[in-house]
Structure 1
Amino acid sequence: KSYTCYGLRAGAQLALSKNKNVIDEFLDVNKFSCRATWSNISRGAMALLSQIVLDDKKLENLSLERNRYRHMLYKRAEIFLKESREIELEVFPYRDGFFITIPIKQDIEAVVKKLESENIFVVPLKNEIRIGLCSISIDKIYGLSKKIKQSIKE
């Protein structure tokens, strides 16, 4: 995700020790447990990330792109949270990220169905819904909290 390629998963695992036996055991155990759990990352992800980290210009461009997306999410959240405060829509504490979570004390299925009938798609959880800020354009954020509150009331 930090390379703005959501879905092209890649990662690293590090082990630090002064004891060579500990490092050897770590390597042996993880050869099997990691491969059994996740297999390999995709070749495309490996090639892409290698090209980016080995090229200062590409790494700089990535940083600029990442900052644009971060600002975009921040702006979406800012709008949604401001409007939610104005109409007193309860929202779980939000610091940053892709989702805002709203507690639902009523029949959650009815709330989700009402929202879907208005082409508002959320992630229903046990006693809350999550709004994917990452998938909603800024123009559609305006008024969204009001629509959600109305769906909860009904």
Structure 2
Amino acid sequence: MAKFYLMIIFISSLSLMVKTGESYFQILKSFEGPIIGSNYAPIASPVSSEVQYLKNCAGKLRPPCGTKIFFGTFVGNETISAYCCHNLVNDVGRRCHVSMTVYAIINTPEFKQKKTQILKRSKQIFKKCKASNSHGVDF
């Protein structure tokens, strides 16, 4: 039960951070080392370059898109607007989206347990956003 409350606090905190324009940026503050065990990790030799890459990725998410994309990816309960799809595909890009997703999975025990579903949703969101980007449709 304690893990459930911890997760609620984490998601609530993240939601507030994202709504203020910080997006995934706050998650990255605790980052101390390279992303290990992922084919999707950004290529960078010094750790600081990798951290900076992820912070730059997070900074490209516009409010309220960071919240919507986060909950769509990690919880699966959010509709992504055409505006946010445009932001994801054209500003953030696939590599940043996947790198931030993998980072959150690796550094959050609750997400590690749901890794397969989260990665599947992440891929589906980007694919649907890319398709809807040319049509301007919410999904």
User: Normalising to structure 1: TM-score of the pair?
Assistant: 0.24
Higher percent of residues as helix: 2
Larger relative contact order, structure 1 or 2 (CA cutoff 8 Å, min sep 6): 2
- Select the structure of larger CA radius of gyration: 1
Higher percent of residues as strand: 1
